[in-house]
Amino acid sequence: MQDTRIEDLINNVLVKEFPGEHNKHKIYRAGNRLNFSCPYCGDSNDGRKKRGNFYLDTLSYKCYNGGCGIFKDIYSILKDFSLVGKLEQDEKTEILDILHNRKERRKTYYGDIDISIFFDEDIKNYIIPRSEFMERMGLEEVRGSKIEIYLTRRNQVPDQKFAWDKEKQRLYLMNLSRENNILGLQFRNMQQSGGGSKYYTYKLSGIWEKLLGCKDENFLDGCRKIDPISSVFNIGTISFNDTITIFEGPMDSFLWKNSVGLCSVENKFPFEMDNLRFWYDWDNAGRAKASELLAEGHLVFNWRKFLTDHDLPTNKKWDLNDLVNFLRSRQLKIKRFDFYFTDEVLDLKDFIYV
C-alpha cells in the first residue's frame, strides 16, 4: 500500500475526531514515520504538540503523550473510528496480511509495536550515562558506604543499580541499559522528615527537567518518547523471548531472573505479549490487581496458596523481598515458586482478603 494512501486514511481519522480543528489535521513526515495529534487522547489543547507517531514500515501506531501510551495497528485505528469502510477489499487483505506476517516474526515485534524503536541509535542521544549523572548529582557508590549494610540485609547486591546520596540520605535505584546508561530512576528517602513521601520515581524526561534542570522543550519531547519504558525497571536488560515476570517494586525485580518492576500496580507493561506473568504484592492493592488480571486470563502468583502450603501468615503484607528476607533468616526450604502461578479463574477465591 502506498504511503500516500496511508496518510490519506489517517487524515480521515483526524478530520472525524477533530472536526473544525484544522491545526490538528496536519500530518508531518520524518523518514518512515508520520507525526500527528493523537486521535485517542488529543495530545493537548495545543495542536502544535503532536505526540502521535505512525510507523509506515510496520503499520503500527504509538502515542508518547504521558497518560495515554496507546499503541495500535492501522486496521484497529480505522475500526475504532468506524472507518474500515474506507478500505477497498484488496487494501484490507494487504493490511491484514502485513500485520499477520509481522506478528509471526516474534523477534522485535510484540503486540502492536516494534520494541526495537526504543533501542535504536537515537535513544543514545537522550539516555544519561550513569557516571555523568553520579557526578552531577554528587552521588557515591553504595559499596563501602553505610547504606551497603541496609542493602545486604535486604539480600540485594550492592552494585551499580544503586547509588547513595550521603548529604540528603537518599538511596537511588536506577533503571539501567546494558551499557549502564540511565533510562529512569527511583529514590528512597532513608530519613523520614517533613511528611514527604518515602519513594519518588522519575521518568527520563523528569530526570532531565526536574533533577538536571534541562529547559530545552525539543530535547524533552525526545525524552518523552522513551518515558513509557523508563519506569519499567530492567527493561533494557531482559530477554523478550523468555518468560517475563512482572513485579510492582524494582527491588523485587532485582531478585528474580528476567523480570521487571513497574513501580506501581497502576502502571502497565508497555508491550502486549504472550509470555508475561504477574507477581504483585500480597496487600489490598496487589490482591485487587491480581484478581483483575486473573479474571482476564493472565498468569498471576497465588500468594494465599503459597503462604498456606508453607504455614506462613496470610494476614500480613508480603512482597518478594520481604519473603526472601524471612525465608533466609530462618533457613526455610520451600517448593518451587513457579508452581504457584495460576491462570485458573476458580482461584479468584484465593485473592479475597479474610
Across the range 283-288, mean pLDDT stands at 93
Residues 89 and 135 in one domain: no
Instruction: Name the amino acid, one letter, at 223.
Output: C
Q: Over the Cα atoms of the chain, what is R_g?
A: 23
What CATH number does residue 330 fall under?
3.40.1360
Domain boundary among 63, 88, 119: 119
pLDDT at 106: 38
Does 133 fall in a domain? yes
44 pLDDT band (50/70/90 cuts)? low
pLDDT at 112: 46
276: Cα separation from own chain's centroid: 13
- Contact yes or no for 239/252 (Cβ under 8 A): no
Does 255 fall in a domain? yes
Return phi, psi of residue 184, to 5°. -165, 175
Does 47 fall in a domain? yes
Examine the pLDDT at 326 and tell me if it is beyond 50.
yes
Q: What is the pLDDT of residues 46-78, one digit of tens each?
A: 555 677 889 888 888 888 776 676 878 899 999
107 pLDDT band (50/70/90 cuts)? very low
Residues 37 and 67 in one domain: yes
Examine the pLDDT at 242 and tell me if it is beyond 90.
no
pLDDT at 11: 95
Does 287 fall in a domain? yes
Examine the pLDDT at 160 and tell me if it is beyond 80.
yes
pLDDT at 273: 77
Long-range contacts of 187-190 (CB under 8 A, 24+ apart): 190/147, 190/150
Domain boundary among 79, 95, 119: 119
Does 299 fall in a domain? yes
Domain boundary among 199, 230, 261: 230
Distance CA 42, CA 23 (A): 12
DSSP assignment string, 9-21: HHHHHHHHHSTT-
Distance CA 306, CA 314 (A): 9
- The winner for highest mean pLDDT among 50-54, 105-109, 150-154, 224-228 is 150-154
| Residues 6 or more apart in contact with residue 101 via CB below 8 angstroms | none
> Structural domain of residue 56, as residue ranges?
3-119
Residues 13 and 115 in one domain: yes
Does 239 fall in a domain? no
Pairing of strands 299-301, 276-279: parallel
315 pLDDT band (50/70/90 cuts)? confident
Q: What is the pLDDT of residues 243-272, one digit of tens each?
A: 999 999 999 999 999 999 999 988 888 877
Examine the pLDDT at 85 and tell me if it is beyond 50.
yes
Across the range 217-243, mean pLDDT stands at 88
Residues 57 and 84 in one domain: yes
pLDDT at 214: 95
Across the range 116-140, mean pLDDT stands at 82
CA distances 290 to 98, 132, 163, 285, Å, are 34, 39, 32, 9
Residues 286 and 317 in one domain: yes
Higher pLDDT: 321 or 65? It is 321
DSSP assignment string, 25-63: S--EEETTEEEE--TTT---S-TT---EEEETTTTEEEE
pLDDT at 236: 86
Across the range 212-234, mean pLDDT stands at 90
Residues 209 and 284 in one domain: no
Residues 174 and 221 in one domain: yes
Mean pLDDT taken over the chain: 87
Q: How many domains in the chain?
A: 3
Residues 281 and 199 in one domain: no
pLDDT at 252: 96
- Contact yes or no for 247/173 (Cβ under 8 A): no
pLDDT at 82: 93
Residues 101 and 196 in one domain: no
Ranking 14-23, 108-117, 217-226 by mean pLDDT, the lowest is 108-117
Residues 164 and 224 in one domain: yes
Does 237 fall in a domain? no
Residues 30 and 133 in one domain: no
User: Element (H or E) spanning 163, and its range?
Assistant: strand 162-165
Higher pLDDT: 191 or 197? It is 191
Does 236 fall in a domain? no
C-alpha cell at 89: 477489499
Q: What is the pLDDT of residues 228-239, one digit of tens each?
A: 889 999 998 888
Residues 108 and 134 in one domain: no
